[in-house]
């Protein structure tokens, strides 16, 4: 059986080769950050760091191909994000209204909104308006590039549920793009649209 470039890189990283680990890191990190920033907001960078610490600790025990590697990293990231969100939910959050309002765009800036619509950040923000399960499926499938079985494994769901959530998420994004008011209403979703309950 032929050894792939990924297999050689993984084996070298498991044996302590920093260059090989850096290549594995770079193959996932940009997509991982997009996923975490869309789902986790301000927690993303800390969660990504915690994820990679866990990856380093478990690297010697990992076995699988490149798709399984990506799914493994995203599974760890999702678990670390859930933990971080629970911790953050228990902490009091000081609110400075001037700071909060300064970060919000003016809703009447139509030309700015049109420019922003074409940026990656805007696309991720639109995905972030979907119900969480749909957003996670769209991010994992279309931003992270995972296939249905690996996305299902990351989320702990059946492949059929992942397909349905992905279809609904993409359909809702299409509606948001074609209906100007729908983009602002994206966060007000009908709970019955969530396939995960």
Annotate 163-191 with b (16+ C-beta within 10 A) or e (fewer).
bbbbebbbebbeebeeeeebbeebeebee
E strands in the chain: none
The tokens describing 196, both together, are: 């995960």
The tokens describing 105, both together, are: 């765009």
The tokens describing 56, both together, are: 């380093």
Q: Provide Rg for the chain, Cα atoms.
A: 19
> pLDDT per position in the chain (197 positions), as tens?
567 999 999 999 999 999 999 999 999 999 999 999 998 888 999 999 999 999 999 999 999 999 999 999 999 999 999 999 888 876 555 555 445 444 444 444 544 544 544 467 777 888 888 999 999 998 899 888 899 999 999 999 999 999 999 989 888 988 888 876 544 444 444 433 444 44
The tokens describing 63, both together, are: 């076995």
**Which structural domains are found in the chain, ordered by start?**
5-90 (1.10.1740), 113-193 (1.10.10.10)
- The answer to whether the predicted template modeling score (pTM) of the entire model surpasses 0.75 is no
Q: How far is CA 47 from the centre of its chain?
A: 11
The tokens describing 162, both together, are: 């992942």
């Amino acid at each position: 059986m032929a050894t792939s470039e990924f297999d050689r890189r993984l084996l070298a990283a498991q044996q302590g080769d920093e260059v090989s680990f850096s290549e594995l890191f770079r193959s996932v990190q940009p997509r991982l950050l997009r996923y975490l920033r869309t789902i986790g907001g301000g927690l993303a960078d800390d969660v990504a760091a915690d994820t990679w610490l866990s990856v380093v600790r478990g690297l010697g025990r990992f076995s699988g191909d490149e798709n399984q590697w990506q799914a493994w990293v995203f599974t760890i990231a999702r678990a670390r994000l859930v933990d971080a969100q629970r911790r953050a939910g228990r902490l009091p959050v000081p609110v400075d209204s001037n700071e909060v309002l300064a970060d919000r765009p003016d809703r009447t800036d139509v030309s700015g909104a049109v420019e922003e619509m074409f940026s990656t950040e805007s696309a991720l923000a639109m995905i972030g308006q979907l119900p969480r399960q749909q957003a996670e499926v769209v991010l994992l499938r279309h931003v992270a590039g995972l296939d249905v079985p690996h996305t299902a494994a990351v989320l702990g769901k059946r492949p059929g549920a992942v397909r349905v959530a992905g279809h609904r998420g993409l359909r809702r994004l299409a509606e948001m793009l074609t209906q100007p008011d729908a983009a602002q209403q994206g966060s007000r979703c009908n709970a019955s649209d969530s396939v995960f309950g």
